[in-house]
Chains A and B, each alone.
Chain A
Amino acid sequence: DGGITQSPKYLFRKEGQNVTLSCEQNLNHDAMYWYRQDPGQGLRLIYYSQIVNDFQKGDIAEGYSVSREKKESFPLTVTSAQKNPTAFYLCASSIEVLAGVGEQFFGPGTRLTVL
């Protein structure tokens, strides 16, 4: 069954702790994305990767880090430098970037709450 999986579904973190959100896809897509969703603000792009071992900052990259060591995996680390990390985090992928963004397929999301 093809798709994007994100884990965990819910995550609680104490202030000052780093936390890593998992994103895996078996769609053989080249491009992967991380978004943050807050009420009334739509989806804001954190980081994106067009190919393995390469990634670019999105609009709100401060306090976040990513890696793309494998085509199917694009983990996001929320660091203690992120001032307001409580949000719903969405991972997405698309077949390739060179032909245009086209359709992005989204995972089910991870809701992060900082206690």
Chain B
Amino acid sequence: QQQVKQSPQSLIVQKGGISIINCAYENTAFDYFPWYQQFPGKGPALLIAIRPDVSEKKEGRFTISFNKSAKQFSLHIMDSQPGDSATYFCAATSNGGTSYGKLTFGQGTILTVHP
């Protein structure tokens, strides 16, 4: 019940295209859903995050879509650029219960944007 399942494992997109990464969770207590971006040899960095009281959040070219009833959320990268090539992780946590104080991460998606 603590898992967050992420897909696809890898994704190749042409420059200017849209990259879409999906995550699904089971724990209905999760109430915070961040996305992290990681470049090779570096630690992850927070990209964008959403709480379940909204269905969408946009920051620049990055958008999170959230479907509470389906327990799914996704990251959309518009106008994808070669500099976006990285590994992306979705995550989830809650302010209570067994997930309190901990982030549960998805398996990661390796995004490659071809010029």
Contact = CB atoms under 8 A, between A and B. Distances in A.
A and B associate:
yes
Interface of A: 4, 31, 33, 35, 40-45, 48, 50, 56, 58-59, 90, 92, 97, 100-109
Given A42-B89, A106-B43, A100 B95 contact: yes
Interface stretch (B12-20, B56-64, B78-86, B105-113): B105-113
Given A90-B44, A103-B34, A104-B46, A45 B107 contact: no
A42 to B, nearest CB: 4
Nearest to B44: A106
16 contacts: A33-B103, A40-B107, A41-B107, A42-B6, A48-B101, A50-B101, A90-B44, A92-B43, A100-B95, A101-B32, A101-B103, A103-B49, A104-B103, A105-B46, A106-B36, A109-B42
B62 to A, nearest CB: 15
A45 B102 contact: yes
Contacts of B46: 103-105
A40 B6 CA distance: 10
Interface of B: 2, 6, 9, 32, 34, 36, 41-46, 49, 89, 93, 95, 100-103, 105-108
A55 B44 CA distance: 22
Nearest to B2: A59
Given A42-B6, A43-B89, A108 B42 contact: yes
Contacts of A100: 32, 93, 95
Nearest to B4: A42
A107 B43 contact: yes
Given A42-B6, A107-B43, A101 B106 contact: no
Contacts of B44: 43, 90, 106
Nearest to A111: B41
A107 B41 CA distance: 11
B99 to A, nearest CB: 9
A48 B2 CA distance: 17
A91 to B, nearest CB: 8
Given A103-B49, A108-B42, A40 B108 contact: yes
Contacts of B105: 35, 42-44
